[in-house]
Amino acid sequence: MKCFKTYMFAITILMLGGCASSNKSKSDSSAKKKPNIIYILADDLGYGDLSSYGQQKFTTPNIDALAEGGVKFTQHYCGSAVCAPSRSTLMTGQHTGHTPIRGNKELKGQEGQTPLPASAYTIAELMKDAGYKTGAFGKWGLGFIGSEGDAINQGFDEFYGYNCQRVAHRYFPEYLWENDKKDFLPGNDWTNKVTYAPDVIQEKTLDFIEDNKDKPFFVYVPYTLPHAELIAPADSVIEKFRGRYPETPHDESKRYTSDYGPNIKKEMYCPQETPHAAFASMIYTLDIYVGQIVDKVEELGIADNTIIMFASDNGPHQEGGADPAFFNSGGNLRGVKRDLYEGGVRTPFIVKWPNQIEAGITSDHISAFWDVLPTLADIVGMEVSAPTDGISFLPSLLGQEQKEEHPYMYWELPVRGGRQAVRLKEWKGVKYNITKGNAKLELYNLESDPEEMEDVSDQHPEVVKEIEEIMKNARVDNETFPLFSEAKKNS
């Protein structure tokens, strides 16, 4: 990957004279001036689930305040339409045609998913090379404990939370992981629900920030909220929303539902009498957590030198009683989780950096998860020698001309017959059921039809041909996640 330019602000803020020649940090004196970076990732939060992005049925004041104090992106994309591959693109800076993890593949007998290989170069490793203390708090999902994909083997100094995505379906688990040791949660035994796991994870996140206030730190906060199961942290929270919405109880007669108790099926979701209220309360809780992080950096006096980023890993889910249609969670965009239409892969994305990013601006720059790694490299003055599909969007953050743009954006997902999608400027090509052969490519003009309602492939054969070629050439085969053979439906 080519060396990124050092922007004028870096001369003053970072004391960097040019691009680094290797994956090593600059001098200690410059490292002390590097900004802290907090990357917050919601789980299954839709493009329309924030009031700053149009949500009408509840508000998210703390996250909205981030947008008011920084930049709100309207065309930022998740890495994929399900959890693990989306996180893999974020960590490696590679889209799903190249990143090692391209689906949610479970491993028999393991608490955890297919691991990132040791050869992967992650954001955490980049930040460590730049002299940062690194921590991850929340849901990992990229390799079981002790594997080469384990968070502490992929560049994180500290990890606390759920290693396994399947276990993360439950908000009152028996234990969480602290690095490679189990931390048993008081009162939780798969029958009694005493300790709400996200609260504990939040405490560990805030402790990490406070413990490292005097050195540059990078903290990755992949919250489980509002992923199913739908359950509120406390009665006082859900009571704010009970009675506000019409409700249809989600009970154990529904698919993939099992209550806490001696017969619990741990990988499933709990029943919920008031799923609409529970969903709103979970996003309300997420918003409180974001506010606490903002308050913490302000309390510590490090807010002016701290970048906070907020995004979601994929589109809104429908499991556990969730109702994205009722809340318009997709923000009028077509599709949900597992879809490669805009509703499945477009995410809210907010970045706040006091005194560097102009407050209250909106950017329509087209970017994606695989751009985050090169952007952070640009910010901290590093050259990324590992392969990446990303482009630094630092100029867009700073209100400068974004000279380098993606020629196209690419996604693939080996579920339900195989799916591919390409964004080519204003065009979006989507292909489903590719394992059946001769699958027709749907074509949409996102400028005139952002909801992808009118397939115009017959009117633009030359664009269809160009996108078909991109779908062939933008990827390499992955034996673990084969695209062109029938795959089981992944969660």
The pLDDT tens digits for 403-445 are: 999 999 999 999 999 999 999 999 999 999 998 888 999 999 9
308 touches 302 (CB < 8 A): no
Nearest to 414 by CA among 338, 317, 471, 312: 338
Euclidean distance between CA atoms 370 and 367, whole angstroms? 8
230 touches 278 (CB < 8 A): yes
- Lowest average pLDDT, out of 14-18, 189-193, 396-400, goes to 14-18
Answer yes or no: is pLDDT of 488 > 70.
no
User: What does the pLDDT look like over 123-169, one tens digit per residue?
Assistant: 999 999 999 999 999 999 999 999 999 999 999 999 999 999 999 99
User: What does the pLDDT look like over 49-77, one tens digit per residue?
Assistant: 999 999 999 999 999 999 999 999 999 99
- The pLDDT confidence band at residue 289, using thresholds 50, 70 and 90, is very high
Q: Output the pTM of the full model.
A: 0.93
Segment 83-92 mean pLDDT = 98
Q: Kindly state the percentage of the chain with pLDDT values over 90.
A: 89
Euclidean distance between CA atoms 418 and 326, whole angstroms? 28
What is the structure's pLDDT at 235?
Answer: 75
Euclidean distance between CA atoms 291 and 260, whole angstroms? 31
What is the structure's pLDDT at 338?
Answer: 98
Segment 305-321 mean pLDDT = 98
413 touches 103 (CB < 8 A): yes
Segment 355-370 mean pLDDT = 97
What is the structure's pLDDT at 33?
Answer: 80
Euclidean distance between CA atoms 286 and 202, whole angstroms? 10
Alpha-carbon Rg for the chain, nearest whole angstrom, is: 21
What is the structure's pLDDT at 438?
Answer: 81
Euclidean distance between CA atoms 243 and 303, whole angstroms? 38
Answer yes or no: is pLDDT of 16 > 80.
no
Answer yes or no: is pLDDT of 219 > 70.
yes
Euclidean distance between CA atoms 123 and 307, whole angstroms? 15
Residue 187 burial (10 A CB sphere; 0-12, 13-18, 19+): exposed
Answer yes or no: is pLDDT of 3 > 50.
no
Question: At 490, which amino acid appears?
Answer: N
- The DSSP line for 436-456 is GSSPPPEEEETTT-TT-----
Structure tokens at 455: 């397939």
Question: At 392, which amino acid appears?
Answer: S
Question: At 134, which amino acid appears?
Answer: T
433 touches 416 (CB < 8 A): yes
Angstrom CA distances, 441 to 300, 336, 419, 457, stand at: 53, 19, 10, 7
Structure tokens at 344: 């499945």
DSSP type of residue 50 = S
Angstrom CA distances, 271 to 7, 254, 321, 374, 444, stand at: 52, 8, 8, 42, 38
DSSP type of residue 410 = E
Structure tokens at 475: 């990827």
Question: Quick one: how many helices (H) and strands (E) in the chain?
Answer: 13, 15
Residue 485 burial (10 A CB sphere; 0-12, 13-18, 19+): exposed
Domains and CATH numbers, the chain: 8-406 (3.40.720.10), 408-491 (3.30.1120.10)
97 touches 474 (CB < 8 A): yes
Answer yes or no: is pLDDT of 29 > 80.
no
What is the structure's pLDDT at 233?
Answer: 80
Angstrom CA distances, 123 to 68, 116, 415, 442, 455, stand at: 27, 13, 27, 34, 38
Euclidean distance between CA atoms 416 and 339, whole angstroms? 10
Answer yes or no: is pLDDT of 23 > 70.
no
Residue 74 burial (10 A CB sphere; 0-12, 13-18, 19+): middle
488 Cβ contact partners less than 8 Å away, ≥ 6 residues apart: 415
What is the structure's pLDDT at 489?
Answer: 40
What is the structure's pLDDT at 9?
Answer: 33
The DSSP H or E segment spanning 464 is helix 461-473
Taking the alpha carbons at both ends of the chain, their separation in whole angstroms is 33
